[in-house]
């Protein structure tokens, strides 16, 4: 039997406590390696990216230019997925803003969000109009209405972008 909307159950309690009551701290300027990396590419063209996550994962590749790639250079699955975007779009983890910029130029109302203040500044310089320096867990009604999300999934299956409809 499904729980009623007023019935409390474990998953609901966990999500409320973890995502909505957890205090978060934005990345400070001196901690923002990702923003510095985007800035370096923008200014010098250096293509080396080093990824170090809080779970201990470390990786190196020459893929930073991917974050700045024009639509013509996107993978076919990305081009197909972006066709599902509609209405007001939130680009979660917008990075250098390639997807937000593409959609904005197509006439969509797009809000780019990223936890990296450096990434937000790069997006501003590239002409993205609506940006917020917030983590994914702090998406709230202030962004409403939201019709679709663009979300990059790096750690599950393979790196690719998905569009989620509400």
Which of 126, 98, 132, 127 minimizes the C-alpha distance to 112?
132
Q: Is the predicted pLDDT of residue 23 greater than 70, yes or no?
A: no
The pLDDT-based confidence of 157 (bands split at 50, 70, 90) is very low
Q: Is residue 161 part of a domain?
A: yes
Q: Is residue 69 part of a domain?
A: yes
Q: Is the predicted pLDDT of residue 11 greater than 60, yes or no?
A: no
DSSP 3-state percent helix, strand, coil across the chain (nearest 5): 40, 20, 40
CATH number at 97 reads: 3.40.50
Q: Is residue 15 part of a domain?
A: no
Q: For 77-86, what is each residue's pLDDT tens digit?
A: 888 888 888 8
Q: Is residue 84 part of a domain?
A: yes
- Domain ranges, residue 102: 23-165
Q: Is residue 107 part of a domain?
A: yes
Q: Is the predicted pLDDT of residue 21 greater than 50, yes or no?
A: no
Q: Is the model's pTM score more than 0.75?
A: no
Q: Is residue 13 part of a domain?
A: no
Give the number of domains in the chain. Answer: 1
Strand bridging mode 148-153 / 160-165? antiparallel
């Amino acid at each position: 039997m499904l729980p009623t909307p007023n019935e409390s159950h474990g998953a609901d309690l966990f999500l409320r406590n973890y995502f909505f009551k957890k205090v978060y701290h934005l990345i400070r300027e001196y901690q923002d390696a990702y923003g510095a990396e985007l800035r370096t590419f923008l200014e010098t063209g250096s293509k080396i990216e080093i990824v170090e996550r809080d779970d201990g994962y470390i990786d190196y590749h020459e893929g930073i230019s991917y974050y700045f790639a024009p639509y013509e250079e996107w993978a076919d699955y990305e081009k197909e997925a972006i066709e599902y975007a509609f209405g007001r779009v939130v680009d979660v983890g917008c990075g250098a803003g390639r997807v937000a910029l593409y959609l904005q130029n197509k006439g969509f109302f797009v809000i780019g969000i990223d936890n990296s203040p450096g990434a937000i500044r790069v997006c501003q310089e590239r002409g993205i109009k609506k940006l917020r320096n917030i983590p994914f867990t702090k998406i709230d009604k202030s962004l409403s209405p939201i019709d679709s999300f663009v979300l990059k999934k790096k750690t599950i299956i393979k790196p690719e972008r998905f569009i989620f409809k509400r």
